[in-house]
């Protein structure tokens, strides 16, 4: 059983009235370990889970990853450079759940949504500013959203984390199917 499967089983039960009216979301993912050359010429390693196209079963490029459910979002975590210790914390490894906490009194953005570890002890960063208004609006309207760390980026295979991608979905509606290399 993968880490992501265990996280899914710990999701908030469907007893929430708001979540029960939202359609179930079934996403196919595959474990991914790869590298690419960054704009500055350095090699960046990525590991975790990548979304698969439902029709072809192939990996989806970041710009092609969209969802029929408007409450779903895949994004980078903004502001991680201001919390370098949190970025390296094992609670933010791929497959772990994260808590989304609105920050309406944030002096820089009244729509700011913090991304914290599942217990709410350590803040990793924020939903990016270009997405925060939508996420905050959904949360103010009563949609309970949760997050899952899907992918991490490192300088060097064993180097420190540089960034993280998080999947934001309505609580209790997500089924992640982790495809193994043997699956067709």
Task: Note the pLDDT tens digit of each residue in 138-153.
Answer: 999 998 999 999 999 9
pLDDT confidence band for 28 (50 / 70 / 90): confident
Domains and CATH numbers, the chain: 3-179 (3.30.70.2330)
Tell me the β-bridge partners of 53: none
Task: Note the pLDDT tens digit of each residue in 43-55.
Answer: 999 999 887 777 7
Tell me the β-bridge partners of 120: none
Tokens of 111: 């729509």
Q: What pTM value is reported for the model?
A: 0.79
Task: Note the pLDDT tens digit of each residue in 115-134.
Answer: 999 999 999 999 999 999 99
Cβ(22)–Cβ(16) below 8 Å: no
pLDDT at res. 11? 38
Contacts of 49 (CB under 8 A, 6+ apart): 4, 29, 30, 31, 32, 94, 95, 150, 151, 176, 178
Cα separation, 63 vs 125, whole angstroms: 22
Q: What is the DSSP string of 131-184?
A: HHHHHHHHHHTT--EEEEEEEEEEESTTS-EEEEEEEEEETT-EEEEEE-TT--
Tokens of 79: 């502001």
């Amino acid at each position: 059983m993968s880490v992501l499967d265990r996280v899914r089983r710990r999701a908030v039960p469907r007893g929430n009235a708001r979540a029960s009216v939202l359609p179930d979301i079934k996403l196919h993912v595959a474990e991914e370990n790869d590298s690419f050359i960054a704009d500055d010429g350095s090699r960046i390693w990525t590991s975790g889970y990548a979304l698969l196209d439902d029709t072809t079963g192939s990996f989806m490029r970041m710009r092609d990853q969209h969802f029929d459910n408007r409450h779903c979002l895949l994004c980078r975590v903004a502001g991680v450079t201001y919390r370098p210790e949190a970025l390296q914390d094992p609670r933010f490894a791929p497959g772990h759940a994260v808590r989304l906490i609105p920050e309406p009194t944030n002096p820089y953005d009244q729509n700011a949504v913090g991304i914290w570890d599942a217990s709410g002890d350590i803040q990793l960063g924020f939903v990016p500013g270009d997405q925060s208004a939508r996420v905050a609006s959904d949360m103010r309207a009563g949609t309970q959203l949760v997050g899952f760390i899907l992918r991490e980026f490192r300088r060097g295979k064993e180097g420190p984390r540089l960034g993280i991608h998080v999947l934001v979905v309505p609580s209790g509606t997500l089924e992640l199917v982790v495809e193994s290399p043997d699956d067709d």
